Structure 1
Amino acid sequence: MEYKRSTIIDNKMKYGSYYDQHFKSALIHQIKLVLLGVVTLGFAYPWILCKEQEAKCEHTVICGQRLKFIGDPKELIGHWIVWWLVIVITFGIYGLVVKIKFQQWVAANTVFENIELK
């Protein structure tokens, strides 16, 4: 039987794509964010989501280029309020769309670190 290497190892070597966050720092970061959410009774949730995305991008390299998250928590809070109002008006049905809307917002606010912002 032939040993087959993991695609994680192959793609890291072939494309220079990897994630370099360590367990200890990820755990400490997550505990801080959970505590913040508890202390603010969830009102800081959009800010917490932005901090999670920043941490993910800070430790993600795609094809040799590190990602950078440029999303503004104030902008997300505006979207968040609108999304929740529409969810209430549609009796929860719009909640199915919010996950996609959030992912679209994240993608629109993720760039490569060496890109000059206009």
Structure 2
Amino acid sequence: MEKMINEKGYYFDGGLLQLIGWNLLGILVTVFTLGICYPWAITMIYSWEAKHTVLDGRRLHFKGTALGLFGQWIKWLLLSIITLGIYLFWVNISLKKWKTANLEFID
């Protein structure tokens, strides 16, 4: 399949079978560890996505770690308990902010 490159040189060169494989691996790891390694599965998939994304001819790199995300999960869990679940509405946004803060260009 050919890459779709826009006029600014932005493209994604990952494949469907790779995506399915990484997602299956993430699901298996999460299930077999009863959810404890879910942050690892998320960071693994984010890393794959970044590695296959090119913006202005520069490839992205995801520098986040499972341990760093695990700490965020604990914080978000506590905030959700304290606010009786209201903070859960912000968890997805907080996760996107964490992901974005951990992206950088490979030079």
Q: Structure 1-normalised TM-score? A: 0.83
Structure 2: tracts of 5 or more residues without a match: none
- For 1:29 and 1:50, the matched residues in 2 are separated by 11
Q: CA deviation at 1:28?
A: 1.2
User: What number of residue pairs does the alignment pair up?
Assistant: 105
RMSD (Å), alpha carbons:
1.4
Q: How far has the Cα of 1:13 moved from its partner? A: 4.3
Q: Which amino acid aligns with 1:78?
A: G
**Highest CA radius of gyration, 1 or 2?**
1
Classify the secondary structure of the residue corresponding to 1:51. helix
Give a deviation string over 1:35-77, Cα, whole Å, max 9, x none: 1111011111111111111011011111111100001211111
Where structure 1 has 5 or more consecutive residues not aligned to the other structure, the ranges are 1-7
| Alpha-carbon distance in 1 for matches of 2:74, 2:50 | 25
2:99 match: 106
Matches within 5 A, 1:44-59: 44-59=37-52
How many percent identity over aligned positions? 34
Following the alignment from structure 2 to structure 1, what is the Cα–Cα distance between the partners of residues 66 and 25? 17
1:65 is the counterpart of 2:55: no
